[in-house]
Amino acid sequence: MDADLGAKAASDGELRGLVDAFATFSNATRRLEGEYAALRAQVERLTDELEEKNRRLAASLERERELEAAALRQSRLAAMGETAAMLAHEVRNPLGAMELFTGLLVQDLRDRPEALRLARQVAGGIADLNHLVTNLLEFTRARRAVDVANALVDCRTTAETALDYARHLIDASGIVVDRDVPPGDCTARGDAALLRPALLNLMRNAVQAMPTGGTLTVAVRREERAVAVTVADTGPGIPAEVRETIFTPFFTTRSKGTGLGLTVVRELVTALGGEVRVATARGGGAAFTVRLAAA
């Protein structure tokens, strides 16, 4: 009997020992699980921080490469601009004489249709060269600092003047002009000497986009803090995939284009403290809008 009691006591003691051991093991396991979860959370946090730092580093390196490329491009453009300005000044004098003499020749050949046709082709080529020289000069001019803080420009009058300058191109192409200029103040911060060639370039591009005729729309709007001048055509429009590059120097979609006209527009508008954007016109063509700060 005593032996049985002793055996039972020993068995109960072993059981309590096993229970205590299991409890200790369970507590240790829970503690390890908690430490593991904390460690895993810390690893995830450190991994996220590392990925974020890597992204920032990659973005910083990319930005640095972009700035270096932009600085190199600006340096090259500045050097090209100085050379182009020098050449343009040298070319403009004889070109002006050629334009004058060709105009006289066209008048003298009015009774000789075939010779008149050839003379007009020469006159057209000279006009294109003169436009290119003008763009080169405007390109270098726009890169100079322009103080427009106290300068004002009447956008309505300037748009009309640009239309007058483009009249011979418009009439020769059989294009109809649609003016959308409601009454009201259209005065902006700017300089007519810079805005006019910018609008003239846009009008010239619009005419070239409609070789078989169409409608050239010129709209002037007073917005809350800006004056917007839009030049739109009914041509084929500009594909969305090239809209980001059309203002890049020497980029052109025309076989005979120089790719400098829209660059000059952007440089002139930027010098005026404004912006120029392109969108699809209601008729499917291109619509360029120049915005300047309202006076």
Q: Where are the domains of the chain?
A: 1-144, 147-295
Q: Which residues contact 217 (CB under 8 A, 6 or more apart)?
A: 177, 178, 179, 180, 230, 231, 232, 233, 281, 287
DSSP reduced 3-state for 109: coil
**With contact defined as beta carbons under 8 Å apart, do 217 and 230 qualify?**
yes
pLDDT tens per residue across span 77-101: 666 666 666 767 677 778 778 888 8
Residue 30: pLDDT over 90 = no
pLDDT tens per residue across span 227-273: 999 999 999 988 887 877 787 766 565 555 556 678 888 888 888 88
Does domain 147-295 match CATH 3.30.565.10? yes
| Lowest-pLDDT choice from 12-26, 54-68, 267-281 | 12-26
Q: Which residues contact 127 (CB under 8 A, 6 or more apart)?
A: 99
**Arithmetic mean of pLDDT over the chain:** 81
145: confidence class by pLDDT, cuts 50, 70, 90: very low
Distance CA 259, CA 249 (A): 6
Highest mean pLDDT among 13-22, 113-122, 172-181: 172-181
Instruction: Kindly report the pTM of this predicted structure.
Output: 0.59
Q: What are phi and psi of 279, to 5 degrees?
A: -145, 175
Q: What are phi and psi of 249, to 5 degrees?
A: -55, 130
Return the structure tokens found at 136: 């080169």
Eight-class DSSP state of 242? G
Three-class DSSP labels, 30-72: HHHHHHHHHHHHHHHHHHHHHHHHHHHHHHHHHHHHHHHHHHH
Where is 88: in which H helix or E strand?
Answer: helix 2-108
